[in-house]
Amino acid sequence: MFQKILVPLDGSELAERALPLATALAAQGGGSLMLLRVPIFDLQESLLPAVTEHYDARWREYTAEDAVRAAAAYLDRLATNLREEGIVVYTRVVEGDPAGIIVDMAQTENIDLIVMSPRGIAGLTRWVFGSVTERVLRHAPCPVLVSRAQDAGIQRIFITLDGSTVAEQALSPGLALADLLHAPVTLLRVEPPVAHNVVEEMVIELALADDDAVEQLTDAALANAALYLNEIAARHEQPGRTPQKSLLLGAAAERILQTAAEVPESLIVMASHGRTGVQRWVYGSVTEKVMRGTEASLLIIRSPSAGQPTP
């Protein structure tokens, strides 16, 4: 499933932390890596004002051609090491806006997966949430894996579900990732309190209801959710893969964060939006809260129904 993997890099050790996981996926799946670098010279005015203010002399002497040559040499060094491990590697140096280039290259090169670090450019830019990584997550035509793993080891993969067909789009890539990494899988569903459930776009108001009514509705919702998880798990069970199931009650983002935090080197898989159908899935959503709050790696699958806005 992940035959062509794009790894955006900027020359920093932080960005290179995406490489072990990307390399493992390529090796296990017989795929290839495409290493991409946008020369830092082109980020001078847009992303590095603080740096250039203090290094004007350096930037006057450092031409765009120098930046391209340095970027190509950097990628060549990485590619040589990876090829010695038997990985098929391609390199690209492209000038311009980093997020736009990453998304465009994923589209034109038919990339199956983007693997990137949550931070880059030596920590000088806010790659996550408001910058490059956020824009890639919002607009990429393929799944995006934000790797926080120290190496290629993932101890458990949590695939988050909410009963919607949109959320189920996380299943195929999440399970494929688990198979390649030989990682155990937990299907995770968090059922919100009954008073917060949305039925036919109407919020159920239970402020005046008695406790027994609330308890009965909660039990019914949990029973339906359990049946759903059992069905999904049975459908995707196969030799060597028996998904576990976890059904929790509470606020979705908080329970997802809590559950993943209990397992070191875990990975959370989420579709871009679930039952609410929210198009603006980053800000004010469960996905946003998980992205901002987790120390786990994260695989985001953007729903096709969200369209293809320009990054």
pLDDT tens readout for residues 92-116:
999 888 899 999 999 999 999 999 9
pLDDT at position 58 is 56
d(CA 269, CA 285): 15
Give ranges for CATH 3.40.50.620 in the chain.
Answer: 1-148, 153-311
Q: Which CATH superfamily is domain 1-148 in?
A: HUPs (3.40.50.620)
**Quick one: average pLDDT of 147-158?**
86
The region, left, alpha or beta by phi > 0 then psi within -120 to 50, assigned to residue 66 is alpha
With bands split at pLDDT 50, 70 and 90, how would you rate the model's confidence at 41?
Answer: low
Cβ neighbors of 112 (< 8 A, separation 6 or more) are 1, 2, 3, 4, 5, 31, 142, 143
Cα dihedral sign, 173-294-297-310: positive
With bands split at pLDDT 50, 70 and 90, how would you rate the model's confidence at 268?
Answer: very high
**When comparing pLDDT for 236 and 65, which is higher?**
236
With bands split at pLDDT 50, 70 and 90, how would you rate the model's confidence at 311?
Answer: low
**Quick one: average pLDDT of 60-65?**
65
With bands split at pLDDT 50, 70 and 90, how would you rate the model's confidence at 291?
Answer: confident
Cβ neighbors of 238 (< 8 A, separation 6 or more) are none
Whether residue 49 is predicted with pLDDT greater than 60 in this model: the reply is no
Class of CATH domain 153-311 = alpha beta
Structure tokens at 239: 């030799």
Distance spanning both ends of the chain, measured CA to CA: 25
**Burial letters 269-308, b for 16+ CB under 10 A, else e:** bbbbbbbeebeebbeebbbbbbbeebebbbbbbbbeebee
With bands split at pLDDT 50, 70 and 90, how would you rate the model's confidence at 120?
Answer: low
List phi, psi (to 5°) of 101. Answer: -65, -45
**Burial letters 101-128, b for 16+ CB under 10 A, else e:** bbbbbbeeeebbbbbbbbbbbeebbebb
Structure tokens at 154: 């993932």
Q: What integer best gives the mean pLDDT of the chain?
A: 81
pLDDT at position 132 is 82
Cβ neighbors of 280 (< 8 A, separation 6 or more) are none
Structure tokens at 93: 């140096």
297-301 and 185-191 strand pairing? unpaired
Give this prediction's pTM.
0.82
